[in-house]
């Protein structure tokens, strides 16, 4: 069981914020190599998108090769980072995208590996609430 003082450590949150911001910059540039590098390489890595369900790193990489770039005016609205011990954190955010009137939602579970922080699970969806 994690001790209460293991949650939301400033140093862990700062590390994850940095890799999340790198991921978002790669998303804006449609840098497929960096986007794929952000995900944990394994069969249990999952990414649920707006219209796709990708099970395993290979499926996620295949999706990225054919996915349209995000709208250049996509903007994050709210970002919350929570850490759970020194090696796991969740990033939750909302985003606006001019291509839809709906608010986007994005969640990622990041884990620390020998290669650095990687996304183990991700979810992207659209809500019915306006931005």
Domain residue ranges in the chain: 4-126
**0.85 cut: is pTM over it?**
yes
pLDDT at res. 53: 97
Taking only the tens place, the pLDDT of each residue in 24-54 is 999 999 999 999 999 999 999 999 999 999 9
H or E element that contains 73: none
User: What is the rounded CA–CA span in Å between residue 70 and residue 42?
Assistant: 25
What is the rounded average pLDDT for all residues in the chain? 94
pLDDT band of 131, cuts 50, 70, 90: low
Domain 4-126 CATH assignment equals 3.10.450.50:
yes
Taking only the tens place, the pLDDT of each residue in 66-117 is 999 999 999 999 999 999 999 999 999 999 988 888 899 999 999 999 999 9
- Beta carbons within 10 angstroms of residue 66's beta carbon: 7
CA angle 60, 64, 68 (to 5 degrees): 140
């Amino acid at each position: 069981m994690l001790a209460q003082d293991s949650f939301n450590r400033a140093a862990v949150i700062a590390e994850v914020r940095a890799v999340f911001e790198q991921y978002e910059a790669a998303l804006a540039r449609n840098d497929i190599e960096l986007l794929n590098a952000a995900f944990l390489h394994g069969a249990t890595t999952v990414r649920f998108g707006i219209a796709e369900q990708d099970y395993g790193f290979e499926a996620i990489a295949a999706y990225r090769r054919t996915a349209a770039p995000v709208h250049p005016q996509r903007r994050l609205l709210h970002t919350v980072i929570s850490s759970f011990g020194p090696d796991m954190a969740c990033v939750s955010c909302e985003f606006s995208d001019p291509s839809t009137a709906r608010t986007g939602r994005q969640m990622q579970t990041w884990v620390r590996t020998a290669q650095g922080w990687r996304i183990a699970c991700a979810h992207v969806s659209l809500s019915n609430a306006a931005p």
